[in-house]
C-alpha cells in the first residue's frame, strides 16, 4: 500500500551518520560536527539553497544534544510567538541545565522588530538560535543578531550525494523496497533536481507512483514525460517557488520580456498569489529600473492596486502589461546602490552629529547655542540653489548616489555637475 507521508519526509535522517552532504561542516573532524560533539554549540545561521538539509540538520542537532526543540516559521509567526517560546525556554531553564534550541525557518522573512525580539534571549543564552535562510544573511539578518551567530554555508548536493540519497531510499524505504526499481538512466532526475534533495525525492516518488507495477525501469524519457505532465510541481509554498520567482525577476532585470512573461505564466498556472507577484514588481521598479525611468514605479504601484481590486483571472492581463513594460524599460540600480552605500557608512561611522546649521531651533536656548545659525534657505537664491554642506563634517564629500549610464540619469549627472562643480564630478 502506498504511503501517504511524502518520501522526502520518510527519508529524513535522525543522526549525522545518516545525513547526506555538507561534509565541509558536518563531516568527520569538521567544525560544526565538533561543536555538536562537545556540546558547545553557539547560535547559528544555516544559509543555503532549498532542499539541502537545513531543517533536517537543526532537528538532528537538537536530538543529539538532547535539548528541547521549538520550531517557528517566519512565514506565519510573529513577535508574540517568539515571546511565548522564550517564556517557555525560561521556564525549562529552571528545571534543566541544557538550554532549548529555537529553530526559525526562513528567518530572512522576519522584520527588524521580529529579529530584535530575539536579541535578549540569544545574548543571555536563554535559547540557542538556529536560523535557516535561502538569502544572504548579510543583507537579510540585522547586524546585532548576525554578530551573535556563527554562519554556516550549505551547498547544493552534488551528483554523488543525490545518487546516494536515491540508493538509500530504494533500499530502506518501506514502500520502495517492495518494488523492483531499475534506474537505467539518471540524468533527467539529477538535472530536474537542481541539487535539491527534497525535489529529487519528490520527483522520484512521482515517477514511481505514476509508472506503478512491481518492476519499474526509470529512463530519462520517462522522467521527462511524467514531470512535464505534472508541471504543477510549481509549489507556491515550496522550493520551486523560489526558483521560478528568481528566474522571473532576473528575466525582467535582463530586459527579456519573452522570458519574463513565460515565468509569469508559470506562476499564474501554478496558482501563485497575484499580490505576491505584484509586490515583487514594485520592488523591482525601484531596485532595477530606478531613476532610469521613474514612471516604472508608478506603473508597478498602479499594477499592485489594480490586481488587489480585480483578482484572477483578469489580473493576469494587468500583470502582463506591467511585466512587459518593466522588462523593456531602461535599467538602473543606482538608487539601490546609493542606499546600501549610505547604510554601510552609517554602520561604519556611527551616529555622527548633525551640523549645527542644519539643526532645528524651536527654542531660544537652541538658537543661542548656534542651532540653525548660518543656514542658507535654497529658495532664497538664484535657481533655488546655494553652496553649503549637508553631510556631517567627517564624511563631507562622500558620494553615495552615482547616476546610472542611461539617458535620464545622464541628465541628472550633468545637472549635479552644473550646480556643484567638482563636488559632483563623477
| Structural domain boundaries in the chain | 22-153, 159-232, 239-327, 352-424
Percentage of residues in the chain with pLDDT exceeding 70? 94
Residue 237: its pLDDT value, please?
Answer: 47
Residue 122: its pLDDT value, please?
Answer: 93
* The 101-105 sheet, strands edge to edge: 69-73, 101-105, 128-133, 44-47, 150-153
Residue 90: its pLDDT value, please?
Answer: 81
Q: Is the pLDDT of residue 97 over 60?
A: no
| Topology (CATH) of 239-327 | Zinc Finger, Delta Prime; domain 3 (1.20.272)
Q: Is the pLDDT of residue 291 over 80?
A: yes
The per-residue pLDDT for range 21-65, each reduced to its tens digit, is 999 999 999 999 999 999 899 999 999 988 899 999 999 999 999
Residues 6+ apart with CB under 8 A from 57: 19, 22, 26, 46, 154
Q: Taking the model in full, what pTM does it have?
A: 0.57
Residue 51: its pLDDT value, please?
Answer: 84
DSSP, collapsed to helix, strand or coil, labels residue 350 as coil
CA atoms within 13 A on the CB side of 284: 30
Residue 230: its pLDDT value, please?
Answer: 62
| Between 370 and 100, residue with greater pLDDT | 100
Q: How many CB atoms lie within 10 A of CB 232?
A: 11
CATH superfamily of 22-153: P-loop containing nucleotide triphosphate hydrolases (3.40.50.300)
Asked if residue 168 lies in contact with residue 174, where contact means CB atoms within 8 angstroms, the answer is no
Residue 231: pLDDT band with limits 50, 70, 90: low
Phi, psi (deg, nearest 5) at residue 330 = -60, 150
Choosing among 2.60.40.10, 3.40.50.300, 1.10.8.60, 3.40.640.10, the CATH entry for 159-232 is 1.10.8.60
Q: Is the pLDDT of residue 100 over 50?
A: yes
Asked if residue 205 lies in contact with residue 6, where contact means CB atoms within 8 angstroms, the answer is yes
- Class in CATH terms, 352-424: mainly alpha
Q: Which of 315, 318, 274 is nearest to 299 (CA)?
A: 318
Q: Is the pLDDT of residue 234 over 50?
A: no
Strand locations in 52-141 (E): 69-73, 101-105, 128-133
Q: Is the pLDDT of residue 129 over 70?
A: yes
Query: If residue 117 lies in a helix (H) or strand (E), which one and from where to where?
Result: helix 112-124
Task: For the chain, give the mean pLDDT.
Answer: 89
The arithmetic mean of pLDDT across residues 284-291, rounded, is 95
| Cell numbers given for 191 | 538535472
Helical H runs in 295-420?
A: 295-310, 315-327, 334-349, 364-368, 407-420
Strand 69-73 versus strand 44-47 pairing type: unpaired
Q: Is the pLDDT of residue 306 over 60?
A: yes
The per-residue pLDDT for range 373-403, each reduced to its tens digit, is 889 999 999 989 999 999 998 898 888 999 9
CA separation for the pair 276, 186 (Å, rounded): 35
Q: Is the pLDDT of residue 262 over 80?
A: yes
Residue 23: its pLDDT value, please?
Answer: 94
Residue 140: its pLDDT value, please?
Answer: 81
DSSP assignment, residue 4?
Answer: S
Residue 93: its pLDDT value, please?
Answer: 57
Residue 302: pLDDT band with limits 50, 70, 90: very high
Across 69-83, 91-105, 193-207, 324-338, least confident range: 91-105
The per-residue pLDDT for range 189-230, each reduced to its tens digit, is 998 887 889 889 989 999 999 998 889 999 999 998 888 766
Amino acid at each position: 500500500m502506498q504511503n501517504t507521508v511524502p518520501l522526502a519526509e520518510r527519508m529524513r535522517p535522525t543522526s549525522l551518520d545518516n545525513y547526506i552532504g555538507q561534509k565541509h561542516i558536518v563531516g568527520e573532524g569538521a567544525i560544526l560536527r565538533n561543536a555538536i560533539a562537545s556540546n558547545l554549540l553557539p547560535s547559528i545561521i544555516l544559509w543555503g539553497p532549498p532542499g539541502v538539509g537545513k531543517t533536517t540538520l537543526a532537528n538532528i542537532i537538537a536530538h543529539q544534544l538532547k535539548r528541547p526543540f521549538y520550531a517557528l516559521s517566519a512565514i506565519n509567526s510573529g513577535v508574540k510567538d517568539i515571546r511565548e517560546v522564550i517564556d517557555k525556554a525560561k521556564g525549562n531553564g529552571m528545571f534543566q541545565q541544557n538550554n532549548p534550541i529555537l529553530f526559525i525557518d526562513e528567518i530572512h522573512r522576519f522584520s527588524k522588530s521580529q529579529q530584535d525580539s530575539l536579541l535578549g534571549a540569544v545574548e543571555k543564552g536563554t535559547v540557542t538560535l538556529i536560523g535557516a535562510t535561502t538569502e544572504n544573511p548579510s543583507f537579510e539578518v540585522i547586524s546585532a543578531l548576525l554578530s551573535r551567530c556563527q554562519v554556516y554555508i550549505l551547498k547544493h548536493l552534488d551528483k554523488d550525494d543525490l545518487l546516494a540519497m536515491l540508493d538509500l531510499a530504494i533500499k530502506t524505504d518501506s514502500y520502495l523496497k517492495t518494488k523492483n526499481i531499475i534506474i537505467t538512466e539518471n540524468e533527467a532526475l539529477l538535472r530536474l533536481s537542481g541539487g535539491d534533495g527534497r525535489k529529487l525525492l519528490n520527483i522520484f516518488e512521482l515517477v514511481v507512483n505514476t509508472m506503478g507495477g512491481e518492476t519499474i525501469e526509470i529512463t530519462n524519457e520517462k522522467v521527462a514525460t511524467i514531470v512535464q505532465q505534472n508541471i504543477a510541481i510549481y509549489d507556491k509554498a515550496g522550493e520551486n517557488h523560489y526558483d521560478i520567482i528568481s528566474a522571473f525577476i532576473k528575466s525582467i532585470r535582463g530586459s527579456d520580456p519573452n522570458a519574463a512573461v513565460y515565468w509569469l505564466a508559470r506562476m499564474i498556472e501554478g496558482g501563485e498569489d497575484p499580490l505576491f507577484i505584484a509586490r515583487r514588481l514594485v520592488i523591482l521598479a525601484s531596485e532595477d529600473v530606478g531613476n532610469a525611468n521613474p514612471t516604472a514605479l508608478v506603473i508597478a504601484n498602479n499594477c499592485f492596486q489594480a490586481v488587489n481590486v480585480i483578482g484572477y483571472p483578469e489580473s493576469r492581463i494587468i500583470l502582463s502589461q506591467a511585466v512587459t513594460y518593466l522588462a523593456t524599460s531602461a535599467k538602473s540600480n543606482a538608487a539601490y546602490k546609493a542606499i546600501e552605500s549610505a547604510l554601510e557608512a552609517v554602520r561604519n561611522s556611527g551616529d555622527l552629529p548633525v551640523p549645527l546649521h542644519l539643526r532645528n531651533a524651536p527654542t531660544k536656548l537652541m538658537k543661542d547655542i548656534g542651532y540653525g545659525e548660518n543656514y542658507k534657505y535654497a529658495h532664497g537664491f538664484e535657481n533655488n540653489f546655494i553652496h553649503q554642506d549637508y553631510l556631517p563634517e567627517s564624511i563631507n564629500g562622500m558620494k553615495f548616489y552615482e547616476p546610472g549610464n542611461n539617458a535620464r540619469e545622464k541628465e541628472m549627472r550633468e545637472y549635479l555637475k552644473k550646480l556643484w562643480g567638482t563636488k559632483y564630478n563623477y
